[in-house]
Chain A
Amino acid sequence: MLEALDILLQANFWAATIRIATPLIFGVLGALLCERAGVLNLGIEGIFVAGAMSGWLAVYLGLPLWGGVVVAALTGALFGLVHGMLTVPLGLSQHVTGVGITLLATSASYFGYRVAFPNVATPPRIEPFPPLDVPFFGDLPFIGPILDQQTAFTVLAFVCVGGVALVLARTPLGLAIRAVGDNPEAVEAQGLSVVALRMGAVMAGSALMALGGAFLTLSAFNAFYFGMINGRGWVCIALTVFASWRPGKALIGALLFGALDAYQLRIQTIAGGVVPSQIFLMLPYVFSIAALVLVARRADYPRALMKPYFKGQR
């Protein structure tokens, strides 16, 4: 029992929490940006895969690490463009289109990987982002070891939280995005383009999602594996509701989830043999469902979410 509590005092645990949370931070930010503009993007799971694969491949082929990050973001934006085209001007079902984007992005990534590496036994590796050497804070007890295990990519995630929050709250663009997810007619009547705003938000959101995937292959690990996303994208959709579409709460939700996941990994080794490992592996998914069910009733969904808008049709 003490061992179970002891985990919380380990710097390693907190470092892992942040590491696990980082891709989710990107994912939830991306999802909330899309949904704030009124578009549900279930392509997220596939866009994670595509970001992970394309970012990694770019670095493997010789680009610098940050180059890989840019490639991943562009790949995500490309799939966002497809999702946006189908759901915004064409107004197709966001549910089914999103599932289609996930199938497309996943199979395109797997196919591309297989074409590039037809017969490899072990996945090829790259040199990932190195741990940071944080001045001053890195030397503090307990905090230091946590910070020193993080990479610049994690810092980018935290910067993005602030950036998205600032844009949404304090700029005309953010105002327009919030408005278009509530009442597209209000935006249209003020001379702004609903289609452009929604497409832009979906592309930017998808780029953020792809960064979540890229973090896994460029920072958390150093290679691309099939099935490595394993539902992380879907978890982000649940966390977005949990975060009530607010960047700050998104950060908290992702960190909570990361802590739970890191905790179950550690408690597994303690309780290993007695309780099957699958029970622990289920926990994050169960937690996500529970979080969704708990907040669903009072969730303040963007009013125009999943409602296509056609100009001149009132």
Chain B
Amino acid sequence: MIRFVPRERTPVWLTVAVSIGSGLAALVLTAIPLALTGAPVFTAFVLMAQGAAGDGFALAETLTRATPLIFTGLAAAVAFRAKLWNIGAEGQLYAGALATVALGAGLIEAPPYVLVPLVLIGAAAAGAALLLVPVLFKTRFGADEVVVTLLMNFIVLLFVQMMLEGPMKDEMALGWPQSAPVLDEATLPKLVTGLRLHWGLVLAVVAAVLLHVFISRTVWGFRIRAVGENARAARYAGLPVGKAMALVGVLSGGLAGLAGASEVAGLKGYLTADLSPGFGYAGIVVATLANLSPLGVIPAAIFVAGVFVGADSMSRAIGVSNYLADLVVAFALLSVLVGGLLTRFRIVFVRREPA
């Protein structure tokens, strides 16, 4: 018989080990369907690793892909810390992207040091505003935010399609539903010429550090943690539960909105309806892998990005569908959830006495 004995403290090394172990477990689990297809399993994983980090170019591509994942991972981490189940980062990302092209594609003309911050603030505000709706529904009407944020993803995507086919359509794009390009003054510069890596990565890392300091060192961070761990006791103690929730909504939605701005203004240059291949949902995986720690989000996002980039490259080389990457990510999420038990409990094997 197995018993779970709660731990009083969790050593840091264990948390890290569980995250890494879960990543490995995910790869092992993925090997099963991979083997069933008859593909050379070992070669496939070697190709994936090479594709993700085999050379400077691959690594840069992985970091480029990690950039939006850091933002959406932070969005999920801060929300889940407060037990606000925001599954709507995908929609908030698109809202941020829409705001980026609305502000940055010619509406305002200004030098970069004005326009870039303006675009970023606009995108964050759009994402935040979008999440405030379900937060309001939750605090005012008791409507479960999970379903509302999930359904809003579909609404936002339809809205984006409508805008791209209508008022925001780029007439120069030969009938493709895409927006006009953002101005050069609104573009996040590349970090290294010749690579796709851009300043969005720096912003994302700074955001992670700031969020870490905010949550662990400030009064409002304290309130958010308190509300997340026990909202009843927080209310009893006179903490502003509603405001803390709204703040979490602003932070989480804002960070997801920044993911959209970073993708449009840093990478793509314009908006299409297939901007995000599920960065919002993958952010949940990233945050869970990181054990909801803002600093942990950075390596977790790089891992998940590496899986996607590596799987793309592997898929091109040996013709196995790159949906394999989604499979790895899903397995990683479930593995880290199970692994998380090890950080919260000591597992004790009890011998049952013969009756």
Which A residues lie at the B interface, using CB under 8 A? 42, 82, 86, 90, 92-93, 95-97, 99-101, 103-104, 106-108, 110-112, 114-115, 118, 230-231, 234-235, 237-238, 241, 276, 278-279, 281-282, 285-286, 288-289, 292-293, 296-297, 299, 310
Cα distance, A237 to B319, chains bound together (Å): 37
Q: Which residue of A lies closest to B320 (CB)?
A: A115
Interface stretch, picked from B209-217, B264-272, B295-303, B337-345, is: B337-345
Pick the contact of A99: B158, B162, B281 (CB < 8 A): B281
Task: List 13 A-B pairs, Cβ < 8 Å.
Answer: A95-B85, A101-B334, A107-B330, A110-B321, A110-B323, A111-B327, A231-B154, A238-B147, A278-B161, A285-B154, A288-B147, A292-B143, A296-B144
Q: Which of B305-355 contact A (CB under 8 A)?
A: 319-321, 323-324, 326-327, 329-331, 333-334, 337-338, 340-341
Cα distance, A113 to B345, chains bound together (Å): 39
Contact A110 B326 (CB under 8 A): yes
Cα distance, A90 to B334, chains bound together (Å): 12
Contact B337 A231 (CB under 8 A): no
B146-167 Cβ-contact flags toward A at 8 Å (1 or 0): 1110111111001101100110
Contact B326 A231 (CB under 8 A): no
Contact B326 A86 (CB under 8 A): no
Pick the contact of B158: A96, A282, A289, A310 (CB < 8 A): A282
Cα distance, A114 to B322, chains bound together (Å): 9
Residues of B within 8 A of A115 (CB): 37, 320-321
Shortest A257–chain B CB gap in Å is 12
Contact A297 B142 (CB under 8 A): yes
Does B222 sit at the interface, judged by CB under 8 A? Answer: no
Does B137 sit at the interface, judged by CB under 8 A? Answer: yes
Shortest A243–chain B CB gap in Å is 13
Tell me the interface secondary structure of chain B in the complex: helix
Given A276-B165, A297-B142, A107 and B338 contact (CB-CB distance below 8 Å):
no
Residues of A within 8 A of B54 (CB): none
Q: Which residue of B lies closest to A281 (CB)?
A: B158
Pick the contact of B337: A86, A234, A276, A281 (CB < 8 A): A86
Q: How many B residues touch A, CB cutoff 8 Å?
A: 46
Shortest A285–chain B CB gap in Å is 5
Cα distance, A293 to B135, chains bound together (Å): 12
Does B284 sit at the interface, judged by CB under 8 A? Answer: yes
Shortest A261–chain B CB gap in Å is 13
Contact A118 B144 (CB under 8 A): no
Does B141 sit at the interface, judged by CB under 8 A? Answer: yes
Residues of B within 8 A of A42 (CB): 146
Contact B144 A292 (CB under 8 A): yes
Residues of A within 8 A of B288 (CB): 96
Shortest A295–chain B CB gap in Å is 9
- A82, A90, A103, A276 — which one has the most chain B CB atoms within 10 A of its CB? A103
Cα distance, A103 to B326, chains bound together (Å): 7
Contact B155 A282 (CB under 8 A): yes
Does B42 sit at the interface, judged by CB under 8 A? Answer: no
Does B87 sit at the interface, judged by CB under 8 A? Answer: yes
Enumerate the 8 nearest inter-chain pairs by beta-carbon distance, A residue then B residue, closest first: A107-B326, A114-B321, A103-B330, A104-B330, A278-B162, A296-B143, A111-B323, A100-B333
Q: Which residue of B lies closest to A115 (CB)?
A: B37
